[in-house]
Amino acid sequence: MKKVLALLLTLAMVFSLASCGSTAAGESTDSASTAVSAVESTEEAPEEAAPAAAEGVAAEEDAAPADAEEAPVEAEEASIEEATAEEPSVQEEAAPEEPLWEEVTDDRVVTVTDMSGDEVTIEGKVERIVNLWPAGTSSFFVMGAGELVDGLAVNNAGTVNSWAKLFYPAAGDIAAMGGTTPSIEELLALDPDLVIVHPMTVSSGFAQEIRDAGIPAIDINFSTYDTMITSYTMLGEVLGGEYQYKLNSWCEMVAEKQAEIEEITADISEEDAPVVYYIAGQSDSLTTTMGSNSICADWTHLAGGIYATDLLEDTTVTEITAEEIFAIDPDIIIVGGNYQHVLVDELQNTDGWKDLSAVVNGKVYTNPYGAFAWDRFGLESYFQLDYALYCINPELAADAGIDRDSILQEVYDFYVFMNGTELTDDELNNMFDGLEPDGSQLDPAAAGGGGGPAAGQSGTHG
């Protein structure tokens, strides 16, 4: 009888587990967050299935006639085998999963309008890319497309940092072209399917020279969330398949997150909005910022702040004077870039600067970074929308459930979806705090860095 019960228990668990797995698979959607949730539900299902299966066996045992044990074991086993043979398998009954994306074929032809307004036609699969725009490099490593990149304008710690190498270990081995305008002969030698040009070289006709040599060339320039959505949608069409699915998902995620943050801050009056001064941090300068036509102004406005350069006569400037900042006296200062920790120290110890309201009140923050700085461009700028609210209007962020832990969870889910990387707790916290993956301090001489809230400040969150 024990053998029979064991067989029944096994069958019940198999059917229960298969059913849970089928249900989780059927819940997949086109959004990144739902894709992650589906994975989590599949992992949790087996723990719930076992007790249910055991209860089912117990019920069958209670209902069995008293003389059931007298029946030959062989007969019971045969009966089980016959019943099992008559039942169709769960795999046969389950509907096939719908593919999340359509595979790219060799005969595919796609025509796109790039960010310079040029119409470009790409034929077949894009499997070899030369990317000559350093600011666009990180996106390929983040979305798991590093293997497509065969050449970069430059390959140094500024364009391929330690986080990029974590996501794509071979990133440091990609050929460097020696600059943004290599010769056509150098490009042809790599036999690329696509060249991504630097936006600053478009006006010279360099992109058209490349096309005239028989290589499709596109400009993916972006500087705000809206232009990134346009650019990534176009790049998705160029790449197709899995990468188009991921890029389209990112565009949807950003649009939804923007709407969410905008709703949270909708009732902030202009009088109550804090003034935010952003320091670029790409050099040892407290007076270098980004203009009001930048992504930094985007996330500041969405988070309910007034961007400091909005208050200047020329809102597009990237260099301002100390006197102008002293006159504005910002409520919050956010420092990005690879010099962020150096600059925070200067803010706290330099006459004039240390008397600013933001410094006195402990409202100085540095900014996290991954393969690229969250506060600037790239796929990781999605995280900045929550992070900006977390720094600029922390009370509203807390009311909306946005805190350090929630941001780190979103970061974890994002990388799992984009490139299959499962960051450890230490790595997540190191990223947030502006450290290298191993916890070491960022080298100020390396470009492209960022950081987390400056340690030891009253403005630091949890």
From the list 342, 276, 271, the residue with the least C-alpha distance to 303 is: 276
Asked if residues 436 and 448 have their Cβ atoms less than 8 Å apart, the reply is no
Q: Would you give per-residue pLDDT tens digits along the chain (462 residues)?
A: 434 444 444 444 434 434 433 343 344 334 444 444 433 444 444 344 333 433 333 444 444 444 444 444 444 444 444 544 455 454 556 666 788 888 988 999 999 999 999 999 999 999 999 999 999 999 999 999 999 999 999 998 888 999 999 999 999 999 999 999 999 999 999 999 999 999 999 999 999 999 999 999 999 999 899 999 999 999 999 999 999 999 999 999 999 999 999 999 999 999 999 999 999 998 999 999 999 999 999 999 999 999 999 999 999 999 999 999 999 999 999 999 889 889 999 999 999 999 999 999 999 998 999 999 999 989 999 999 999 999 999 999 999 999 999 999 999 999 999 999 999 999 999 999 888 899 987 777 654 443 333 333 333 333
* CATH 3.40.50.1980 domain extents, the chain: 109-246, 268-432
Fold of 109-246: Rossmann fold (3.40.50)
Host H or E run for residue 461: none
pTM value is 0.76
Distances (CA, A) of 182 to 190, 195, 198: 12, 11, 11
Q: Return the number of other C-beta atoms located less than 10 Å from residue 365's C-beta.
A: 28
Q: For residues 422-449, b (16+ Cβ closer than 10 Å) or e, as one string?
A: ebeeebbebbbbbbbbeeeebebeebbb
Fold of 268-432: Rossmann fold (3.40.50)
